[in-house]
Amino acid sequence: MKAQRVLAWIVFAAWLTWATALHAWLGQHGTGWLPDLGLVLVFSLLARLEAADAPWLMLATVCARAALAVEGHAALAAGVLGLVPLVLWVRGTFELTAPAWRTLFCGLFVLGFDAWLLVARHVRGEAGESSFAGALLGLVPIALVSALLSLCCGPLFASLPGLTPLRRRTW
């Protein structure tokens, strides 16, 4: 791998870490209508990435999210390892850079990933007394706002400084 691409993956991990940290900082106020900035960044880049680069994206995503996450690292890794190949499969059928598809599938991506983490918390007994259905319903606003952010800023997220060497997918 060229040094330029290695540096681009490091920059992606830094952008993702900052997005995750900003999401956590903004989430301290307890609002449910906060987009998952990191997952929108991952989805935006994944829509434009060569499929052969998916393992690097998964590694960078797991490392960046695990650095700041309260969730179990195994649950994070399993979620990323499950959803990224799924998005690659969906990308073969739908044009994920088109606004409508990008919005729909980013919302589903965020909802699926957050639902997986919720299941992991409930299995480990860390969810407390809250009901699973109520907690799952609480993820819908996050997915909706993330989908809208993807609609408005998806191409901008994929064009962040330093990420150009990673966007090589041709049509």
Tell me the pLDDT tens digit for each residue of 68-77. Answer: 877 888 999 9
Burial of 87: CB neighbours in 10 Å, binned 0-12, 13-18, 19+ = buried
pLDDT in tens, 157-171: 988 998 888 876 544
What mean pLDDT value characterizes the chain?
88
| pLDDT at site 167 | 77
Question: Does a structural domain hold residue 171?
Answer: no
Question: Does a structural domain hold residue 88?
Answer: yes
Which residue range is the domain that position 28 belongs to? Answer: 3-166
Percentage of the chain modeled with pLDDT above 70: 94
**How many folded domains does the chain comprise?**
1
Instruction: Provide mean pLDDT across the span 76-89.
Output: 92
pTM of the model: 0.89
